[in-house]
A and B are shown apart, each in its own frame.
Chain A
Amino acid sequence: MTILFGVFLLTLLVITAIAVVRAENLFVAVMLLGIFSLLIAANFFVLNAADVALTEAAVGAGISTVLFLGALALTNERERPHRGTRWLSVAVVTSAALVLMYATFDKPAFGDPNAPVQLHVSPWYLEMTPHLIDIPNVVTAVLGSFRGYDTLGEVFVVFTAGIGVMFLLSAGPASGAGNGPGSGQGSGPGRPKLPGRKSYAGIGLRDHLIPRIVGRMLVPFILLFGLYVQFHGKYGPGGGFQAGALIAASFILYALVEGESRTLQALPQKALTGLMVGGALLYGSVGLAGIFLGSNFLDYSVLASNPVKGQQLGILLIEAGVGMTVTGVLLSIFHAFAARGTD
């Protein structure tokens, strides 16, 4: 039964992916990409990766779709049709796929407990987590403590990407003075102004009764679930990354229903910047606290009198930092896109 379900989900994935690439209307392609993300999240769940499935469903199907739609509103909704297939590309891609498939015959069998990937450090993580950290979710233990350096790096990548988007989109609107450095500015076909969109960005869907009522009912529950995922990450699937995405999703839904300005009143951009910076700083300072207390960077054992309690405290703090940064960055990116549309 599971096999049948697996094959079914995988086949659907391939069909959706082909439809995404073939769709000439970019709006359709983006919507199909959301469906693709949801399907691949189901696949992750079948493969026992509950944490990853939660993240993919929140990020891929939720936030990614909204960001792509925001970009479409600022560019073109239709791809320019072009005739003919690019046969050279098709040939290269097909032969590469065949080579990859040929290579799969040498891979260890699916689910083999003696495959090399299962024998390296993972058994140690599974064995030592109850003794050293004593939290049920091994994924959170590895993420927060054993591989804390990696996670610190990832948080700073997310932080940098957020700063990059804000730099790109908040500075120097091309529609303002009109003396941009670009050569195509004056003569090129200008950005088509869509009259309807301006009002929507301001007031959201406040005129539409059903989306508004349903959306407003959902927002507090998504927010609550995000906080639950944040603080329950040690015991079940969850953690800062998922929680950050969920909390950002709840505010994005609020912005879509009630409009940009009210969302910025509820959570101003200054607070978002504070969250971005504060989260990264919190993570880093927990690491430094380890040094000042006489141990190594990001060693949480010394944070409390009992090493196991110290590890748990450290993971709680760095997960909070991760959640703050992810929320701040995703919402800042969303607001940067939205503000561009109302210029």
Chain B
Amino acid sequence: MISPCTRRTKREKDPFVTLNIPEALIEETYLAALISCWLCSFVLPTEAVCLIRLAVFVAASKLAHGECLNLAIPTLASIYWGLHTISIARSLNKLEVIFPIHYVYGWLGTYFQTYFDHPHHRYGHPKMVRFSSEKMNWTPNVQEARELLKCKDPSVMYPNALMKDTSITLIDTQNLSSSWKAYLICLRSGFLTLRQGRTIVIEPYVLCKFGRQFGFYQDALSEPRMNDREGTLLDVARYWFNLTEHITRSSTSVTIPAPPDKKSTLVTIAYANWWRSSRGDLFSQGPKYPRGETVQPQRASKVRVVDDESALVVTSGKASAHKPIM
């Protein structure tokens, strides 16, 4: 934590005297300078990690003045871009991709407990403080990583979800609180955008990738425009508006589900079929798959499938009628 500065030295005040800037703006100016560093080195780092980009000054000034800016969308766009760039790399050699990966570490620590808690973390501090400091991470071996990814206890998927004991219905109007509005934006498919000067980043944001973390069914990814990562500045403006503004003016009723039964695995039939055809028993087998060996798709041994009200439970390949799990 940075304690507030109680007094400025003559050297710190001189530039303001020279430029004839009112004394009341001194603290705001220094705060804007600090926020500029924070934006460039922590929130949205680029290739020039050690440099302050001139283009952040407008945004930093707005933030220092008290205006709230949506930092989640550009930051997540940068993260998705970085991970996508790594995923399509043609070799396993070192790759220079700069993006705020510390948020990914924080996400891993939140969902998979891969970090030890920082000794000085207190309730009320930002969650990322829990996962700070060196040598605080726990690196699982292959077998342990497979166990983690199985998520045997579905409740590990909801550490950040806003859920009540019973499902609640929201009407997305302008009267929603800031938190619920942000929650609805999060639950909306669209495109994430980041504009840094002439550089434009557009990344698809598809709810079925993380819907289960908010109590919805896991559905198969069947988005025809998921590879649409190119666009003009006008596209960026349109995507931004569609994701953040449009939904909050349509008065749509949205049901936020209650926490699912711990024993239920909420996936749709389409997803289960996709998983069987493309992954088989990958995670239920032993840890050893020699490099280059093809994993043959196999029938899932035990998958609980839920699909709308006429839900079916598929166990060991046999389908039977079952009451819906809500």
Q: Do A and B bind each other?
A: no
Report B's interface with A, CB cutoff 8 A: none
Enumerate chain A interface residues (CB-CB to B < 8 A): none
